[in-house]
Chains A and B, each alone.
Chain A
Amino acid sequence: MRVLTFILTAVLLILSVSVPSPGQTASLRMAIGRDEGSLNPYTYQTGYPGWNLMTLIYEPLFTPDADNIPQPWLVRRYSVSPDGRTWTLTLHPNIKWHDGRPLTADDVKFTYEYVRRHAHSRWTSQVRLIDSIETAGATTLTIRLTAQSGGFLMQPLAALPILPRHIWEGVAEPRRFNDSIGSGPYRLAEMRDGQFYRLVANDAYFGGRPKVRELVLPIIRDATVTFTALKAGEIDTTVRALSPELVTEFEKAGGLKVVRGAGYASTILQFNLEHPILKDVKLRQAIANAINTRLMVRLLLLGYGVVGSPGYIHPDSPFYNAAVTFTASKSRAVQILNEAGYVDRDRDGIRDTPDGRPLRFNLLTLAGNPIRVRGADLIRTWLRDIGIDARVVAQEDASIIAQVWPDFDVCKGRNFDMAVFGWSAPVMNRATSLRDLFHSDCRFGTINIGGYKSAEVDRLGNELAAAVAPAKQKQVLFEMQKVIAADVPVHVLFYLDGIYAYRPDKHDAWVYQKGQGIVNKLSFIDPPKR
């Protein structure tokens, strides 16, 4: 009898683990491109998809919704004092870590203090604004800031995943600490270096039942192999975006569905604003006028993209100023050059500055990225047509960074002429995006890689940083887009759409997060009820 009970219990246990509830996908195979460490906040490797996968296991207090607006997640209620400097947060009462211990305000306080001591580029600078954190009971805490900040909700509140205090308390070297116990809808069940990860739904999750029972993430390094596997049905989807040239092919293929939406990652022509010749705004305007971005979208992206906005912000963003427009014209480019005195003085086919220096520049581009290489080559031919000699120099990522953005620190200067460069989608989503991109003080303009300087943009940037109300943020961003469009510190070429292919018979509950794609938390779990 005892044996029978044992067997029965065992069978029930196995059933309860492996059988999905109705409406839940049993198992999903989603290929990723590389190793992502042990998928905790200090060991994940890539901003995409590593970050997205890590936040399935470790959760921040807020989570951006499909429109990238941060929504309360671990937090049930919150309030901000009128001066914007005191945030009071109340957590959901029944959140548990994967090991069964409760997640409390104490863990939150611990995490925000921990990342201050153990630097991580994504959070450490964002928590510096915090003056003090006090907890009241298990679920309530109060955060006081030294100054009000418009970006605080997005970073760090919606970005910093909470760590379990009872596990991380004594950890001195977090980057070597491979624990994966979080509080998220999935727990890491298995991982093999360089082979695969297996995530399993967390049954005790406070926010309800995940949409997929088991998530297998095979690592496939090569893009062609990945898409061949997807076509053959060996995987159900991949985090890789589909290349434009494969869209028709995959749309026709049976059993596959292709979704596409706005992509917030930009491809830009970055000028070195400290270059003795390129610092002239007239020259930059002429260059922008010579570049046919519409044709670029048609040729390079096969139409699966959007022409770059002169003020950097993507047209689908709520902060886009539609009144700021730009239409390139080759004849205007020639006219600007002639009026500014850039004429060919030595009859070598290349225009020269008034004091006789030829308009000859290096154009850096990323060797491994055919779209950027081809883009640079198109720019070269269009500039040649107006008498500017651009030499395409294709290099690897590391050597481009060494010239354009040494040590990822804008304060260390720059050494290039022009570069076909790009920013990932999250840059567009930050409330302080244009300040980060263009503020002349390198402590604020942390990604102002061109060394752009404008008193007007600095003033607006400071206003933006202090603005908490979305309407105010919008108004300041509208102004900034105008100034940037006139000054052309960068020329935005295009934004490639996010295109993803998957097998709908396996899982069809994907949520397209605007500008970012389908690999996000909302595709796997609905927001918790408040």
Chain B
Amino acid sequence: MGPAPVPFTPRRHGLGAAGWAGVLLLGVLASAAVLAPLVSPHNPEEIVADPFLTPGRAHLLGTNDIGQDILSELIYGARISLTIGFVAAALAIGIGTTVGIVAGFFGGWAEAVLMRTVDLVLVIPFLPLMILLAAYLGPSYWNIIIVIGVLVWARPARVIRSQVLLVKSLDYVEAARALGGRPVRVMVRHVLPAVLPIALAQFILAASNAILIEASLAFLGLGDPTAKSWGMVLYYAQVRNAFLSGAWVWWVLPPGLLITAATLGFAFTGFALEERLNPRMRGGRGC
């Protein structure tokens, strides 16, 4: 759902109900992540009880396969899942913005090469490549971030390039070039600020994507087994037979709902921002 370059009529100042709902969801999750040491009942790394306890007063969501408190795991899991989401999205947007600006600004063969690469990345079957890459690089926190980063950058690159094409032809940019500004300087000083809002919306959407990918990779056993992300909680629940023993109610459902909440939060926020920051709406402002 890239920003189509068609006239965009409904002009709002707020984010809309869905947008605010998204911000609220994210806010709750982010504060849980930040305040984890204060709000979580136990240290998630610590063995606090017998393994496989059912929910009770001491452990609201029971304990996992080695006697760690599942609720605490989930609260701390917000840190890892959100961090991976943000860092991977930052990496993806970093690549995407650079590629988009360079391609859009220079045109010619640079654009041809870069944009065909983008097309290539976009048509590669996503899931198999992701599994292959993750298996090849090996399960670690940073490898997951790299895998997500190199897979998610293509769409933002496209969207940003189209915005660059628009900005490039604006008078002030042309003036800067006519005055002999070096390309790098023009790109950084004039083009980059103009595409940043769009990059921000894309960033939020990429983060939503990244959290989902991290959870899938972790669930498939391709994540870092010592990092307590939501996906990893799901992985252990699955391999220790939560689906067979009935433990799925407190071991699978909660992390699943949290992943849904985070993805939804990001998606709502992202769509609202995208709508709000659509290039057509920014016509007279800012420059």
Contacts and interface: CB of A to CB of B under 8 A. Distances in A.
B240 A245 contact: yes
A158 to B, nearest CB: 36
Interface in A349-382: 365, 367-368, 370, 373-374, 377-378, 380-381
A300 B47 CA distance: 12
Interface string B118-147: 000000000000000001001110000000
Interface in B216-254: 221-222, 224-226, 236, 238-241, 243-246
B67 interface: yes
B111 interface: no
Contacts of A367: 139, 221-222, 225
A377 B139 CA distance: 14
B244 A368 contact: no
Contacts of A231: 244
Interface in A227-275: 227-228, 231, 243, 245-246, 249
A299 interface: yes
A394 interface: yes
B245 A249 contact: yes
A227 B226 contact: no
Interface string A280-309: 000000000000000100011010000000
Mostly, the A contact residues are: helix
A392 B226 contact: yes
Contacts of A365: 225
Contact of B241 (A245, A394, A395, A399): A245
Contacts of B135: 396
Given A299-B67, A367-B221, A367-B225, A224 B244 contact: yes
Contacts of A381: 45
Mostly, the B contact residues are: loop
B20 interface: no
Contacts of B243: 224
A507 B57 CA distance: 44
Contact of B51 (A228, A299, A394): A299
Contacts of B225: 365, 367, 373, 377, 392, 394
A300 B222 CA distance: 21
Interface residues of A, number: 29
A224 B241 contact: yes
Contacts of B221: 367-368
Contacts of B244: 224, 227-228, 231, 246, 249
A299 B239 contact: no
B272 to A, nearest CB: 39
B245 A370 contact: no
A75 B226 CA distance: 53
B180 to A, nearest CB: 53
Contacts of A466: none
Contacts of A373: 225
Interface string B46-58: 0100011000000
Contacts of A377: 66, 225-226
A393 interface: yes
Given A228-B244, A394-B139, A395-B138, A302 B66 contact: no
Interface in A125-153: none
Contacts of A223: 241
A378 B66 contact: yes
Contacts of A370: 65, 236, 239-240
Contact of B66 (A243, A300, A380, A392): A300
B147 to A, nearest CB: 15
Contact of A393 (B51, B65, B67, B138): B138
B240 to A, nearest CB: 5
B76 to A, nearest CB: 15
Interface in B199-227: 221-222, 224-226
Contacts of B65: 245, 300, 370, 374
Interface of B: 45, 47, 51-52, 65-67, 135, 138-140, 221-222, 224-226, 236, 238-241, 243-246
Closest 5 CB pairs of A and B: A370-B239, A373-B225, A394-B225, A299-B66, A392-B226
Given A367-B222, A394-B224, A396-B135, 5 more contacts: A245-B240, A302-B52, A367-B225, A395-B138, A399-B138
22 contacts: A224-B238, A224-B241, A224-B244, A228-B244, A231-B244, A245-B51, A245-B52, A245-B240, A246-B241, A299-B47, A299-B66, A300-B65, A367-B139, A368-B221, A370-B236, A373-B225, A374-B66, A377-B66, A392-B225, A393-B140, A394-B224, A396-B135
